[in-house]
Structure 1
């Protein structure tokens, strides 16, 4: 069976290896925090850009389409790149590219929506490389049985970034004068242009600061002494002891896991993307964009709290069972948000964040189980599946334009049905080799 190797371990120095693993885990966790911060800022920028450029929901969702579309385009070549230059160097390259994407927000403020979309794509390309490098890195830094627990812990710090970002972005970006579409249309053409320019320029300072932070992190990461991870060249033996797999796609649990990642990221991102507008609906909470942004932090904060809890609980509870339970709870909460009104609808949709907590790391680690030398490729496949964050919000945007925002939440509800199935199907995965 394929095994993972930390090449700088001492020949009998277990304590040294554990110390190296813990140090590596701390450093990699910083990456999870940064890309959580950058990803969640999209939830603030979507209503901001929608207002500036008077976009429909579908047009506004092009932000997520370009951002998460990068995962589909870049993940496979990222896997090849990391195989050649290693996990650590790959992470450095990803940080530099992400910094370049942040820097592009400065000229985008004067060049229009099209350049903003390009900046989102470049930024996400860098984050994609980080994802391909960091997720499998975490899964092999310790016992395979606790891989879901470790990845849940690092994802908790990813959620810390997503929790901070909406409130920070709301303060820095959404604190300007809010105009309705009618008020904006009533302005003379010159004043409309001036207003758009002023509101667009609100993103310049924050994203230049993020670009600088990413470059500093790239330098620190390049200088850090991390264990090098490699995989043996033996393919994984199936549970029947038959001939080894010759393709990464021969692993059924990986293929179903990729579908699960597609639908989970799609559902989670779609809810976050529409949350500010949803809370602004008169029958829900009737909040302004700046006030609603703080509640987006509660949505992502729920995921953070749930991941810290999951880190402990999932050392005892089957990952598959926990996944199925959380998915079922998510469906119930979304249905409550659709059919209820006022504070019930508001808090129901926000509470989905708590249920989301363990889903990504659990699906990811279950899908990578027993892949051996295919682990790097498998990570690339799973990161490609993150394109669900581009497709599902786009689909929900279409329905929001056609049948109304509240009813459009049936789209993410449907996503969680498959996740529940995946959890039930592989509830006993760690009791026997993956099929």
Structure 2
């Protein structure tokens, strides 16, 4: 970045960990017109006379999570109190549905004013011309962006401009149920891939009505850590080919082991009707799962008596490599740009970031990270450690389409007895054709 970053007096140990991780990520309605009058800002982001507006905010905070409760009961009321005349209509969607909703809305001209975006969506929506370039539109952008860690800021940059602000950063670690492990004669979480598969059989034998591991989906977010940790990948380092990578022997080998465990009833969670994984981990259905820091907040809220344990994701040939996640917040509105910008700034402010941190979101605001109350959240520590080796999904506009091909291929592999290598060869060919367009 060319701009000067205002870092404040941040703990060097915490910022070093976060910067290492997030720099890897450089290179998850309605029309927004509301019922008010036009924006109070002009094309240069200069505020005009205060005018009323109702902003539509689309997001993918789970309706069962503390994050959405914090959004609706703490953040939005405070924002509206501080900004008389501006109302916020927050609409929740599941992660994948929100992505489709914005895609369809872009074609139909029905978009929100503001949306919470998975970091992998920013290049796609920028490429489609849907996002407002913040650094071009708002005169105080440089001042605002100096409040954040540089790595997360980079996830919102496409080409020479910034199309969002960072909202949070994250990754996943292994959660394991000590009671279920003890029943199976196990005392420690599996440190390696081999130990993981060995533990699955013992856990299933000790808990026949449950599963050793819960995986809620078969998308890149779920599958990539298994591939990366075991010497496999989806694309070349240049992101220009899947052949020789997705269909490499290393990919087929780890998928064969995972499918065998699924067929033996040792892992579940991604089929319709399965017990939701986080809830299932708390009630003894799944002995292990890989999840983010928000799971702790959900346990505290819904299962206060449950005590889980965490460990690094099982390491394979290339170590313990999890996926780098996080969210950005972007503006789609053409009518309420300035009001939308005020809301975006509020959601990334120290206050909002601290409140969301209490709900399980790792903040990117420097002052929020440094806050004494936030630094006392002990369960952030294992995620900060896992972030050291976390990798970002390919930062290319085609990734959402590639992810769908990957998910469909994984479903075919797990749900049928089709030849794994043939399925991977076909998927690699489809992805190569997509990249060649």
**Quick check: TM above 0.5?**
no
Q: When you count helix as a share of all residues, which structure comes out higher?
A: 1
TM-score, with normalisation over the residues of structure 2? Answer: 0.21
